[in-house]
Structures are given as structure tokens and as C-alpha cells.
Structure 1
Amino acid sequence: MNLFKETAKFISWFQQVLLTFLRIRPWTTTGIVAMSAASRITTVLTTFLPLKVVLLAGSDGVPRYFRFFMDPEHKDAWIFALALGAVACYAVTVWLDSLTGRLSRAAGEEILREAETIPIMNNQEDAAGNHYAKFCRILADGIFVLAAVLGGLFVNFWLFVFIPSLMLCFFSLSALFLRTVDRMQPSGIAVYIQENLSNYTKTLSNVVFFSGFIFLLIPFLVSDYSNILAAILSIIIIRQLLGAQTGIVRNAVQLGKSRHEINALIFRDVQLVPRESPIEKVHRELFHKEARRRIAEHELSKVMGPGTSPEVSWLDPIIPGLDTFMIKVRSKSSGENRCLLQQVFPPKQYQRLEHELFLFRHIPRAHLAAPELVSMFFAGPFQCLICDYGSGRPTPNSDWPDVEHQLTQRMWSCRPPDELVRIYSASAPLLHHRFNGEIADRLEIAADTEGEMEKLHRFRSMLPRIREKLQSIPLYVHNSDLNRNNTVQRPDGEIMIISWGRWTLEPLGAGLPHRLRKKVPAELLGKVGAVRKDIPKDLSREDILTAAWCFDLENLVNKKRYKAAFQMIDKS
């Protein structure tokens, strides 16, 4: 990122948009800019005048830096007038800020009418008003910064030469930090600036302020300089100047991020076209055919030895939001042929990967038919996981009913360790905790008839018994993504479940596939009971179906399918 070029592009675009505003609402735009700049000035006075009053009231007579305009005989009158002026400045500041807000909204609505824009986003009028206000505020703050520097030159010349020079140095230093050779592998400081811009600008602002403070303090220490009033005024101007400068940066970045939306709102000939996000651009550049082959070769050489020659091809996502690649690799040293799967986790999906890794820190992968983990690494901002992909062929449709039965039995047969249950239940409620009176409360809005009110009353009366039953049913690891596409056959015919990013602990029966509910639960329960010693002997098929019923009802309520939920209650 070239900060100088980006700044020049923004200034050009800013000028184009501002000229459009001036054409549509010339007087309003000029007035808002003037009032915003005036608000900054009255803010300075609101801070400065009380200090001036304190200095005057605490002095014997009139200090020498007041004598050129103040008669000692009228000291008390001046104290009262300056105090009243401070309050008036504050009131004017509040009034100006409120007025500019109302005018900005009105101007935004007229700009939308002028552009003849159809609704293209939520709260479009408010968005247009906010964008309009930010453009005006940037111009006003820019005028204030210029006026503050020019005015400060008359108060303390060298101080207000030093401050802009230091700000320019920090801007150049920031440009150097952001100008990375490889934007797909940015430096740590560049990532910090982009992700923590507010903290970064605040830090620079404080550094500039305290540098200016030390610069201002030096004359008091090395000479007989004693103009306290000028020093106080300089500090206030610097603080407000830096606040305005920080506001310019913050608003400019926000407007730049919404540039395509703003153009569509303001200009008639511009359409709102979905654009590729920066993370998507990096992904496309980082994982093009040759680049992803080099990445795979580098990472696999660490675990399979040198000489691996992978062939990496795109695979339509198994899980929405996660890009996947199939890797066919042959090791030259061993002659072994393997089919692997590379899953790419963008920053927004890190939690899914961490959730899966947490599970397998407590349960061996083989116990849940999960594939062997081959490698895990970062590629730019993306976290990648390479695992075994068996034969590379998902379960055929014709085999899925039998496979689903086998996998359900496999998951039910794996008892979650007590430590995992303890940690999980401390962070996420189990079904017997979730299945409470809140479900009945949410259903109440859809109880339109006397019959539905009776069902709801009956459901409430059943809740304590149901919750007690759910609590008595042993837990298992449920995979919310269990489907045919999330499985793969191994060469020996065994089936693996690829993704485990959305697992939960549920009572046996919760999430049971519908095709298995009529005949299989009793058989399943017998086979699982032979493996798990924590299965009570009195656990029945009806208990399993109760857990399945509760899980399904909870899902219907979460999806606001309340009428369907009443039908389930009626059949219970």
C-alpha cells in the first residue's frame, strides 16, 4: 500500500464529491462547513476562557498580559463577562453540532432525490446524511487545522513550525510501514496499523502532543520566558488541532471503505456492484494454481520428506465459507501415493478451526472417524489445514443410508471424557439447560387459538419431567455438518467425517436422522450399550426419541417456525 498515492486518490475523489454537494446544496454545504469549523473554535474558547478566568481571579490586580485591554478597576466585571462567555461558547458549540446534524440529514435526502437512487441499502437516508456530514466535517477540520497552525504562528512561532513538521514526519513513517514488498505477507507493524488504526492514530497524537509540550517547556527552563497565558493557549490549540487531524484520518478511512456505496448514492451513472473484498483479493492471489502448488510442496516436504510433487486442484467447498483443495501427491523417496485435502480458513472462520482442534485435544481423531491431520500452517492471513482425504471420493448416494447408520453408531459409541464435558458445559449450555421455559415464552407469540394456548400450557407442565429425562441421558459428540458431502471413503472402504468445526455435546438421540428413528434406535442402543459402560440399563428407545424430539423442537423455535413447533407438541 502506497500511502501517498492513496491519499492523493482520496483527495481527488473527495474534491469530486464535494463539488457535487456544492452544486446540489451550495448554501447548506457552505453553512455546515462554516458551522463545523466554528464549533471547533468555540470548543477552544470553552476550554481557554475558564482557565483565563482562574488566572485573573487568582492574581493580585491584573496580570501584565491582560493589562493591554483590561482596566484593573473593572477586573470583577471582566471575570463575570469571561465566565459568562465560556458558558455561552459551550452553548453555541452544542447548538452548532445539533444544527449541523439536522441540516446534514436534510441535505442527504435531497442528494438522494437528485441522484434518483432506488433503495440500495438499509436506512439509506441516514447513511446519506452521515456520509454528507463526514465530508463536510473533513473540510471543516482541514480549515481549522490550517487556521490553527497559522494562528499559532503568531502565538508561538517555532512551536507551530515544529508541530506540523513532526506530523509530516509521522505521516512519512507510517507510509514506510505500510509500503510492504509483499502485501499478501505484510509486516507486523503494517497489520497492526490496518487492524488498530484508532489506537495507532491516538498514540501518534499523544506523542506529538507531549513532544510539543516538552518543546513549549524548554523556554521556561533555559530563559526568562514567562508568558503563561500564551503557553496555555498553545497547549489548547495543539490539543484541538490534533483532535481535528485525527478526526480527518478516521472519517477519511471510513469514507474510503464505503466509496462504492457513496458513489452509487450520489452519482446517477454509478451502480452499486458487489466488489471483491481485500481478503478475497489476497486469497485469489495467494492460491492461484502455481502458488498453491508451491505452498503445498513446501509444507508437505516437512512431513513427507523432500521430493514430494503435489498436484493441487480446486474442490467445491464442503463447508460454506471454507475453500478446499484436493492434493494428490507422490513421494519420490517412498513412492507412496496419497490423496489429501487442504482446507483454507479465513480470519472470520478461525473459531471453527479452534473449535475442532479443541475437540481432538481430548478425543483421538480415530475414535470419531476423523481424518489424520497431516499439516497445519499459515498462508498470509489464512490458516490452512491439510488432512487425509482417503480415496478422494465422497460417499455414493446409494450407500449413504447404511453409512449414516454406521457413523451414528460410531459417534454414539465414543464417550466424551469427563474433562471435556466439564469444560464444554461451563461455556455452552447442554440440551437440558437450553430446553427451558424460554422456549414456551417464545412460542406464546404464535398461540393464536384456544387450542394452541392449551398446547402451550400442556407443554409448560411437561417441561420439568422432560428436562429431568434429558439430564439422565448420556452425552455424545454431535456433528452438525454430518452429511454425505462431508464424508469420504478410504481405500479400505472405511468412511471418514472430514469437518468437525461445528460439534456440540448432546444427549444420545439428539440430532438422530429421521430415517433411523422408526426401527433402528433399539438396535443402535444395544450395540452402543455393549461398548459404553455409562449407558443405564433402563435407557429405552422412547428416551432416545424424546431427546430427538426435544432437539428438533428447539431447532424449530430457533428458526421461528412456531406453528410447526405446535404441530410437534400436538403429536407428543
Structure 2
Amino acid sequence: MELFASAGQGISWINRVVAAFFRVRPATTAAVVVFSVLSKITHLLAFFIPLKVLLLMGTPGVPRYFRFFIEPEDRLAWAIGLSIGAVVCYALSLALDAAVKRLTEAGSMEVLQGANELAVASKQRKEAQTYYARFSEVYAGTLFAVAGLAVMALVTTTAFLVLLVLLLAQLLMTALVLRHADPVEPGAFARFIQKGLSNYLTLLASINFLTCFFVLLVPLLLGHEANILFLILSVLVLRQSLSNASSAIRDGVDLIKQRRTIDPLVFRDEKAEKAEAVERKALRELFHKQARESMARERLGQSLGKTVEVEARWVDSTIKGANTFTLILPQSEDDGKKRYFQQQVFPYKKLHFLEHEEYLFEQVSRRALWAPEVYSRYEVGQFSVQICDYGLGRPLTADEWSERFSTILGKFWSIAPEPSLVSAFETSRPTLPDRLTEEFVQRVGVAVDTQAEMQDFELLVSRLEQLREKLRAVPQHFHNPDLNRNNVAPDREGNLLVMAWGRWSIEPFGAGAQKELNKKTATEVLSAVREHRKDLTDEIGPDDVMRVADCAKFEKQVNAGMYKAALRIGRKVGESLADDLAR
């Protein structure tokens, strides 16, 4: 079965890595593994011995299961000695853990130096230390689990045999589930094993522990004599063995998944190779040409109410967070021309973009913001998909964008967001004036080198509140950072479609404006917008809009750590405020 083959390959690789550790630092690696096992044993004894003391002192006389080595007159001395032993065991476990940590650091550096002739970065040193410790812990955990099961086999043979049967049954069940699982869309149980391995192992360990616990309890329930001390020891050993076995499996699987990263750190002849991201691999498997065309035919057919033929072409996406395909219907029954749709595929981690867009269009009509009509929305594996109208199936050309830029900008500045929507938005995200706090502006102070720069910086800080009031006076609009010619398409009637709205925000005119915005364009757009916006007073002019644009650029440069560039923009903003005061 695939599980056994994969497990065999994984175990073989782990052994190969650990063999490399032993080859470079045999004594250190052996000490790390042995000390780790001893730490687990002393830790177990540190909790087992106090139970012995309680049983010894909590029973009149000497319990029968202690009589073969404790005389009644020595009862108190044994209790004191065992109590001291518990403390010693706990101290030993701490000392062994500290020794393992020191040895791990030394051993990992030797392994790393053996694999790399060039100087290595501190990040690699940390990674090597972590991997060295984890491989050693896998071995130590496995050895402890095997030793614990051997103790169980000697002390409580029945419980050991029951546990062995359970482990074999669970292994076969897991192998069968994974073998018959669809590799692209596995069932719920298979997905639970693959994605929640830690929880799955914890569940199995809990089932095994409780089952064996009841097996150990049966003789007592039936009134048979049993050695309570051995039963307690068996329960503790069982619990710790199962826990260490689960941890070893979980860590081993996790290390195997990181093989491409680990091999170059351990083996001189291995070169670093970045593995394909899980998300990208899933996209490739779920949306190969036949699969995406089959899905598009089904979904569009349902929406259009007829059988359709669809060609689905990959398009390098310009929509942040999404992958895109252009869907082409060969001929329309209406005019005989091709019809175009855009299939937008959002991975789970970017689903918030799609949800953000959905929320916007619950408040505002799609037509008002030139958003395309959505024909279908559905889930495929870990992806959310929507199919939208794509007009003529192409973005605007550079000339078309330049020609229609003022019209596009005027369209969105003309739409006033509802006060309730503005209020809801601002509760979760501050707008530009509120983001330009004194703490934020102070970040650029580190880049001040000259007296002139100091004067410009102090002027900006001193007039910051005045600046924020100026920004708040500029009307707000629906800002779309994805509004660029690659995401705007002409439709069949000569209108425009803005294909992406997942990152919309509410900002004053000019915030995040495209490079095409200048004072002349701002004058033209404001003139066209005034008849649509009552909140656009005569006092608001192109200088105010360009100041907003400069403040947005200032924010962007600060966030990018480009403080000198931010200082130059800050000087320009400060001068514009001085000009306002001089008027």
C-alpha cells in the first residue's frame, strides 16, 4: 500500500540523515539521543515515585505489594528516601535537558560546516540546530516508546497484546482510507488525517490509552488480586509511550515534508531546491485545461440556461490575490459574436478579498461602480471561484486608458459613499488622515541629516494636525487600488467594466491616485464632479487633491522604509500648507 511504501521511504531518509549526524559527530549524537531518553525516564520516575510514597504512607502498615522489599520498621526511612529520590530524578531530568541543548548546538554546527564550505547565515545555523534537535528527539521518542512497550509486555501482557492489535488495526485502517482517497478532493476522513495529523494521532492515542486502561481495570472489577504498584506503573508508562510515539510520528512526517530544505544543510552534494507551494500544486491539479473547461461549461450552462461550449485560457493575473482565466464562448445566438467571461480563482488564504467585494456590493449596486455581472460563484477544493462578464475579453489599451482616464476618475469621485457604510468601514480601518499620526510621521526622523531637513521635518510635525484637518475636508470616494488599465475592460456597448473590487477602501479624492493624475487633470475632474457631489465645496480645489495624493505617496514611502524620499514629499506638503496660510 502507498502508506507503507511512503513510510518506508521516509524512515529510510530519516535514518540516512541521522547516520550523517553520527558520521560527523558520533559521540555527541549518541549522547544527545541517550540523554534525551534518560531525561524522559527520570521525568517519568519523578512523577511515579511520589505515588509510591503516597501509597506507602497512606496505608496502615506496609501494603502487601511493598512487603517483598520494605520492612514495617523501615517504612518512614523508605518514604523519606523515595521523596528525596523523586527530587533527584526531577533535577536530573532538568540537567539532562540542559546538556541535550548544549550538545545539540555544538553538534548541529559541525554538521552544517561539514555540508557547507562557504560561510553560513545565522538563520541557517538556527535551522540546523532545530533540525538536529528534532531528528534526535524522533529517535529518542521512538526508543522510549519501544522500551515502554517492552516494559508493558513484561508487566501486563494482556494489555500489551490488546494495544498491539489496536495499533495494527489503526495502521491498516489509515492505509486503506488514504489509498482510496481522491488525491484532489479527498473525503472528510482522509482530509482529517492529511491536514490534521496531530489531532488524528492524539485521538488514536487517547482511544488506545482508555482501552488499555479498562483492560488493566478489569481484574480489579472482577475482584481478582492485582499489584496496584505495577498497575500504576503500567498506566504511566503506557501514557508516556503513546505520547512519545505520537510525537515521533508527527515530527517525523513534518521533517519528511521539509526534506528539500534539510538535505542541503546535511549533505554536501545536495543543492537547495524550493518545493512547489501546496497551493500552486493544488491549482495545477484542479484547474488544468480539461477540468476548468468542464467546470465552466457546467456553471455557465446553468446560469445561461443552455448548453454551451467553452474555451478556458490562462491569463497572467493582474488582480492581487486571484488567478484568472478568460472563458470564450465561440458564438452568441444574439449577434453571432464571441462572448467573453473572466474566471477568478481565489485560494483560501485570499478569500477575504472576495468576501470584501461581496460586502461592498451588498451596499452599492455593481452597475454603479462599473463592476461586471457575476454569473456563477462556487467552491473547488480549497479555492473559491467566480465567473464574471468580461466584455470584449481584453483590457484597455494604453491609448484607451489615457483617453478615458478623466472619465473613469470622475465616475468614481461622483459617487458619495453612504454615511452608514463610511461609519462601518472606519470602525475596522482608519482612512488616510487618521493613519498619518505623529508616531507614524516620527519614523522618518532617523533620516534627517542636515539643518534644512530638520527644519522641513519639524515644520511637518508642527502642522500635522492642520494637515489632517485639510485631508478630512476633502470628500471621500470608493478607492480601488486595482483600478488600472489591465483590470478595466470595454464591454460590448462601449462602456467599461472594472474587474476587481476585492481591495476597495474609502479615502479622500487623490489618495492612491495613479501617476496620470496631475493638477490639470484634477481641475477637469473636479469641475465635472461638482454637480454630483454636494459635499464638494468651492473651497476644495486641485491643490487640495494633489496634497492628498502627496500624503498617500508619503505614507507609501514610509511603509517601504524609503525615508529620504518621504522627507522630500514631506517638504512639499509642508510648503503647500504654508502657501494656504499665506493666502
The TM-score bracket by the shorter chain reads: over 0.9
The secondary structure found in structure 2 opposite 1:269 is coil
Distance of 1:405 and 1:2 partners within structure 2: 61
1:330 to partner: Cα distance: 4.3
Alpha carbons 1:308, 1:331 under 8 Å: kept: no
Corresponding position of 2:581:
none
1:56 matched to 2:59? The reply is: no
- For 1:309, the aligned partner's letter is E
1:407 matched to 2:408? The reply is: yes
Distance of 2:524 and 2:81 partners within structure 1: 92
Corresponding position of 1:105:
105
Distance of 1:62 and 1:428 partners within structure 2: 71
Corresponding position of 1:326:
326
Q: Compared with structure 1, are the counterparts of its residues 450 and 215 closer, same or farther at alpha carbon in structure 2 (3 Å cutoff)?
A: farther
Distance of 1:380 and 1:180 partners within structure 2: 17
Alpha carbons 2:363, 2:421 under 8 Å: kept: yes
Alpha carbons 1:307, 1:332 under 8 Å: kept: no
Corresponding position of 2:250:
250
1:342 to partner: Cα distance: 1.0
Corresponding position of 1:267:
267
Corresponding position of 1:164:
164
Q: Compared with structure 1, are the counterparts of its residues 261 and 122 closer, same or farther at alpha carbon in structure 2 (3 Å cutoff)?
A: farther
Alpha carbons 1:297, 1:309 under 8 Å: kept: yes
Distance of 1:121 and 1:495 partners within structure 2: 51
CA deviation profile, 1:333-385 (whole Å, cap 9, x unmatched): 76673111112212222122222222222111111111111111122222211
Q: Compared with structure 1, are the counterparts of its residues 119 and 203 closer, same or farther at alpha carbon in structure 2 (3 Å cutoff)?
A: farther
The secondary structure found in structure 1 opposite 2:516 is helix
1:70 to partner: Cα distance: 1.2
Distance of 1:91 and 1:542 partners within structure 2: 73
- For 2:431, the aligned partner's letter is L
CA deviation profile, 1:191-246 (whole Å, cap 9, x unmatched): 23333332332233222222222222222112233422222111111111121012
Distance of 2:173 and 2:332 partners within structure 1: 49
Alpha carbons 2:370, 2:498 under 8 Å: kept: yes
Q: Compared with structure 1, are the counterparts of its residues 180 and 426 closer, same or farther at alpha carbon in structure 2 (3 Å cutoff)?
A: farther
Corresponding position of 2:423:
422
Corresponding position of 2:210:
210
Distance of 1:194 and 1:420 partners within structure 2: 42
Q: Which runs of 5+ in 1 are unaligned?
A: none
Corresponding position of 1:462:
463
Distance of 1:129 and 1:516 partners within structure 2: 53
The secondary structure found in structure 2 opposite 1:516 is coil
Corresponding position of 1:177:
177
Distance of 1:426 and 1:4 partners within structure 2: 54
Corresponding position of 2:86:
86
Q: Compared with structure 1, are the counterparts of its residues 526 and 77 closer, same or farther at alpha carbon in structure 2 (3 Å cutoff)?
A: same
1:345 matched to 2:346? The reply is: yes
The secondary structure found in structure 2 opposite 1:519 is helix
Corresponding position of 2:567:
566
Q: How is 1:110-189 mapped onto 2 (pairs within 5 angstroms)?
A: 110-116=110-116, 118=118, 123-189=123-189
The secondary structure found in structure 2 opposite 1:87 is helix
Q: How is 1:421-570 mapped onto 2 (pairs within 5 angstroms)?
A: 421-570=422-571
The secondary structure found in structure 2 opposite 1:364 is coil
1:321 to partner: Cα distance: 4.9
- For 1:421, the aligned partner's letter is V
Alpha carbons 1:297, 1:308 under 8 Å: kept: yes
1:68 to partner: Cα distance: 1.0
1:138 to partner: Cα distance: 1.2
Q: Judge which range, 519-528 or 460-469, deviates more.
A: 519-528
- For 2:422, the aligned partner's letter is V
Q: Compared with structure 1, are the counterparts of its residues 120 and 426 closer, same or farther at alpha carbon in structure 2 (3 Å cutoff)?
A: farther
Alpha carbons 2:39, 2:93 under 8 Å: kept: yes
Distance of 2:119 and 2:185 partners within structure 1: 39
The secondary structure found in structure 2 opposite 1:137 is helix
Alpha carbons 2:406, 2:524 under 8 Å: kept: no
Distance of 1:305 and 1:4 partners within structure 2: 49
The secondary structure found in structure 2 opposite 1:168 is helix
Distance of 2:279 and 2:137 partners within structure 1: 30
1:31 to partner: Cα distance: 1.5
1:283 matched to 2:283? The reply is: yes
Q: Compared with structure 1, are the counterparts of its residues 320 and 515 closer, same or farther at alpha carbon in structure 2 (3 Å cutoff)?
A: closer
1:49 to partner: Cα distance: 0.6
Q: Judge which range, 448-457 or 545-554, deviates more.
A: 448-457
- For 2:543, the aligned partner's letter is E
- For 1:303, the aligned partner's letter is S
Alpha carbons 2:483, 2:498 under 8 Å: kept: yes
Q: Compared with structure 1, are the counterparts of its residues 532 and 259 closer, same or farther at alpha carbon in structure 2 (3 Å cutoff)?
A: same
Aligned residues: 572
CA deviation profile, 1:509-558 (whole Å, cap 9, x unmatched): 21233433221223322322211334345433333223222212111111
Q: Compared with structure 1, are the counterparts of its residues 117 and 483 closer, same or farther at alpha carbon in structure 2 (3 Å cutoff)?
A: farther
Distance of 1:254 and 1:80 partners within structure 2: 45
1:164 to partner: Cα distance: 3.2
Q: How is 1:289-308 mapped onto 2 (pairs within 5 angstroms)?
A: 289-308=289-308
The secondary structure found in structure 2 opposite 1:531 is coil
CA RMSD across the alignment: 2.1
Alpha carbons 2:474, 2:540 under 8 Å: kept: yes
- For 1:505, the aligned partner's letter is I
Q: Compared with structure 1, are the counterparts of its residues 553 and 330 closer, same or farther at alpha carbon in structure 2 (3 Å cutoff)?
A: same
1:120 to partner: Cα distance: 7.5
Distance of 1:413 and 1:215 partners within structure 2: 77
1:406 to partner: Cα distance: 1.6
Alpha carbons 2:415, 2:533 under 8 Å: kept: yes
CA deviation profile, 1:107-129 (whole Å, cap 9, x unmatched): 11111222235467761112112
The secondary structure found in structure 1 opposite 2:328 is strand
Corresponding position of 1:231:
231
Alpha carbons 1:322, 1:343 under 8 Å: kept: yes
Q: Judge which range, 537-546 or 498-507, deviates more.
A: 537-546
Corresponding position of 1:192:
192
